[in-house]
A and B are shown apart, each in its own frame.
Chain A
Amino acid sequence: MAEAKAAALAPGARNPLGRGVVYAVLAVFAVFYLAPLVVVVLNSVRTAQDIGATSVIGWPRELAFDNFSRAWGSYCIAQTCAGIAPYMWNSFLLVVPATIISTLLGALNGYSVALWRFRGDNWVFGLVTLGVFLPEQMKLIPWVLVLRELGLTNSISGLVLIHVVQGISFTTLFCRNYYVAIPAELLKAARIDGAGYFRIFWRIVLPLSPPILIVTVIWQFTHIWNEFLYGVTFTSGPQQPVTAALIALSVSVSEAPQYGVQSAAVLLAALPTLLVYLFGGKYFLRGLTAGAVK
């Protein structure tokens, strides 16, 4: 028992067997988790004949990269044969403003509830963060009504509005928890210096914020990019974000299923979030554990 524990804690020099077991277990789980990705990657470079002759599981006989160009620019999705490019563009038009606006609002909210005392401030914070725990499905009907009232049905602007409002819960929570570590004396000094609410935010709090802003931007970007329930519910045809378009792509039954092209489209659609993680991941981990000021 004690030996097993020691092996688990330190699978190292003393016990090569224990180390081997640990790595074997890790390898099994890694294969398990990576298998779907491997299948998609392999299929994205196989021809339709190749897949048709065997199955979706198999090595490519030859590398067919034209799947990517077809998926990007010419594959037919719901009677439009322009690939996923226009939908990718839709997603960018959705994600960039929604991320920026919700992050800035979250920073301002977090600053207000963390560093200023006002009547009912804890209630406000509690209600805002309640949004973190509400399932998306619950809010579908209310959003239908709101978008119809505002005339934003089936538009990218409508989705931007939804994601800004929904995102505020998370961004406020993140920023508030970061800002509570800012010493109160800093604000007192600024108030005596004559700085007001917005000047303190702009000149003192925001310059301290890059670690948490990176976290919220990464979070919001990946979350909004990957979201598709609102996308399929509130938009159709050429207004859809890429996640919703992928659904349409996979149900086009006019011809034999084009697994190769579909796989390529999935990989292309996942690329932006992958890149964000590759370049921002270390900041993400650092930001989540960082204390604000010292």
Chain B
Amino acid sequence: MSALVIRGVRKRFGAQEVLKGIDIAAESGEFIVLVGPSGCGKSTLLNIVAGLEQPDAGDVEIAGRVVTRVPPKDRDIAMVFQSYALYPTMTVRQNITFGMECRGVPKRQQAEALARTARLLQIEALLERKPAQLSGGQRQRVAMGRALVRDPLLFLFDEPLSNLDAKLRVEMRMEIKQLHRRIGATMVYVTHDQIEAMTMATRIAVMHQGAVQQFADPDTVYNRPANLFVARFMGAPPMNTVAARLVGGERPVAVIGAGRPDEIRLTLPAEGGPPPGWRNREVVLGIRPEAIAEAGRRFGAEEGSFSTLEAPVEMTEPTGAETIVMMRLGGEPVLGRVAPDVRPVVGGAARFAVDTRRICLFDPATEQLIA
């Protein structure tokens, strides 16, 4: 059964259409991440799922029940907010039990649920404190506790980690993921951070300008982005996208900077190539930086599925774990990721290996993935 179905949801604020018909369905136990740049409509969509906003059109269904006109409190959901939204005048204990108090849950049952949640999140020692006396990470935990204590059908997270410092953010990211594995609840998580999306999601909905650009598992979103927006949004550094021309006989060849003395010819793999109609046409070629490495790298592939080429090196960025190289392919700037001990000479030329299986081709007019 689908835990959550969003069907044709539209929302307009004045003249601006912030959601242009959203369709998403989540299976029970899934961790769905809505990711996109600010203003893409992801938080509005989450508010509509929560019932805090009304859609202009479309329906929201939770566990098989249409809840579009049902108030938030009757949707059996819990939500964690970016600012944590802890009640400042209440203690941690009161913050966590307030929801049960509103619902008239018997005191004994409240105490049991509180004890269970406090143990799970290791906040037993904080129960009598006020939110102002807690650190950012502790507030985050209490906000999670307020959601967990209710044992709802659906958990909603609205950028819950964006107020934490980098180290704590990584820790809490893992904790939330473990928590999801442990309790197996359905979660919808909004973030603008594509790393959070990649690491936590079972499926990612990439949103842009009020529309879902791609809704798929992280591997597919990363390796086969549905369009140029997704290709350029996901990944750090993002996918290289350069203009190219498709030529070739039995096996297609992508030419970057065709006609230039330094043009680059990349022979594409035989299977999964572009449809025949694309021969001799302009395309946008996308390739992840990690698919361009120092010459000699085999990418765990057989002979012939990668090409070797020579390119001028413009800049290097040693990060410790790897070295990021900015080079020119057929005149176009392209990033590659080479081994940490490889330091190509800036201003000179170096040889690189390219994993041609990882190449994506996009239609320059529609920006959609061709192959």
Cβ of B182 < 8 Å from any Cβ of A? no
Check if A203 sits within 8 Å of B52, measured CB to CB: no
Contacts A183-B85, A188-B81, A192-B72 given; 9 further ones with Cβ under 8 A? A185-B82, A188-B52, A188-B79, A189-B79, A189-B86, A191-B72, A192-B78, A193-B73, A203-B87
Cβ of B77 < 8 Å from any Cβ of A? yes
A192-B87 contact in complex given A185-B81, A185-B82, A199-B102, C-beta closer than 8 Å: no
| Interface CB pairs A-B, < 8 A, 23 | A183-B83, A183-B85, A185-B85, A186-B85, A186-B87, A188-B50, A188-B52, A189-B79, A189-B86, A191-B71, A192-B50, A192-B51, A192-B99, A193-B98, A193-B99, A193-B146, A194-B73, A194-B102, A195-B102, A203-B90, A208-B88, A208-B89, A293-B88
Nearest Cβ on chain B to A165's Cβ, whole angstroms: 31
The chain B residues found within 8 Å of chain A, CB to CB, are 47, 50-52, 71-73, 77-79, 81-83, 85-90, 98-99, 102-103, 146
| Residues of chain A contacted by B52 (CB below 8 angstroms) | 188, 191-192
A183→B82 CA distance, assembly (Å): 11
Cβ of A207 < 8 Å from any Cβ of B? yes
A194→B98 CA distance, assembly (Å): 9
A207→B98 CA distance, assembly (Å): 15
Partner of B99, one of A186, A194, A204: A194
Within 8 A of B (CB), among A173-196: 183, 185-186, 188-195
Q: How many residues of A contact B (CB 8 A)?
A: 17
A207-B89 contact in complex given A192-B72, A194-B73, C-beta closer than 8 Å: yes
| Residues of chain A contacted by B103 (CB below 8 angstroms) | 194
Name which of A185, A190, A193, A207 has the most chain B CB atoms within 10 A of its CB.
A193
A150→B51 CA distance, assembly (Å): 45
Check if A192 sits within 8 Å of B73, measured CB to CB: yes
A131→B355 CA distance, assembly (Å): 74
A189-B81 contact in complex given A195-B98, A195-B102, A204-B89, C-beta closer than 8 Å: yes
A189→B80 CA distance, assembly (Å): 8
A54→B270 CA distance, assembly (Å): 120
Q: Quick one: closest A residue to B53, CB to CB?
A: A188
- Interface of A, secondary structure class, is helix
A192→B82 CA distance, assembly (Å): 15
In the A-B complex, the 3 residue pairs with the smallest Cβ-Cβ separation, listed nearest first, are A194-B102, A193-B99, A194-B73
- Interface of B, secondary structure class, is loop
| Residues of chain A contacted by B73 (CB below 8 angstroms) | 191-195
The chain A residues found within 8 Å of chain B, CB to CB, are 183, 185-186, 188-195, 199, 203-204, 207-208, 293
A47→B71 CA distance, assembly (Å): 74
A203→B102 CA distance, assembly (Å): 11
| Residues of chain B contacted by A194 (CB below 8 angstroms) | 73, 99, 102-103
| Residues of chain A contacted by B47 (CB below 8 angstroms) | 188
| Residues of chain A contacted by B86 (CB below 8 angstroms) | 189
| Residues of chain A contacted by B98 (CB below 8 angstroms) | 190, 193, 195, 203
Q: Quick one: closest A residue to B89, CB to CB?
A: A207
A193→B50 CA distance, assembly (Å): 11
A185→B156 CA distance, assembly (Å): 13
A188-B85 contact in complex given A193-B73, A193-B98, A199-B102, C-beta closer than 8 Å: yes
Nearest Cβ on chain B to A119's Cβ, whole angstroms: 13
| Residues of chain A contacted by B81 (CB below 8 angstroms) | 185, 188-189
Q: Quick one: closest A residue to B98, CB to CB?
A: A193
Q: Quick one: closest B residue to A188, CB to CB?
A: B52
| Residues of chain B contacted by A191 (CB below 8 angstroms) | 52, 71-73
A192→B75 CA distance, assembly (Å): 9
A204→B101 CA distance, assembly (Å): 13
Check if A189 sits within 8 Å of B85, measured CB to CB: yes
A191→B102 CA distance, assembly (Å): 10
A193→B102 CA distance, assembly (Å): 7
| Residues of chain B contacted by A183 (CB below 8 angstroms) | 83, 85
| Residues of chain B contacted by A186 (CB below 8 angstroms) | 85, 87
| Residues of chain A contacted by B88 (CB below 8 angstroms) | 208, 293
A195→B97 CA distance, assembly (Å): 12
Q: Quick one: closest A residue to B97, CB to CB?
A: A193
A192→B98 CA distance, assembly (Å): 11
A105→B78 CA distance, assembly (Å): 32
Nearest Cβ on chain B to A115's Cβ, whole angstroms: 13
Check if B50 sits within 8 Å of A204, measured CB to CB: no
A204→B99 CA distance, assembly (Å): 13
Nearest Cβ on chain A to B144's Cβ, whole angstroms: 13
A189→B146 CA distance, assembly (Å): 10
A191→B52 CA distance, assembly (Å): 8
Q: Quick one: closest A residue to B82, CB to CB?
A: A185
Q: Quick one: closest B residue to A189, CB to CB?
A: B85
| Residues of chain B contacted by A192 (CB below 8 angstroms) | 50-52, 72-73, 77-79, 99
Nearest Cβ on chain A to B55's Cβ, whole angstroms: 16
A204-B87 contact in complex given A185-B82, A195-B102, C-beta closer than 8 Å: yes
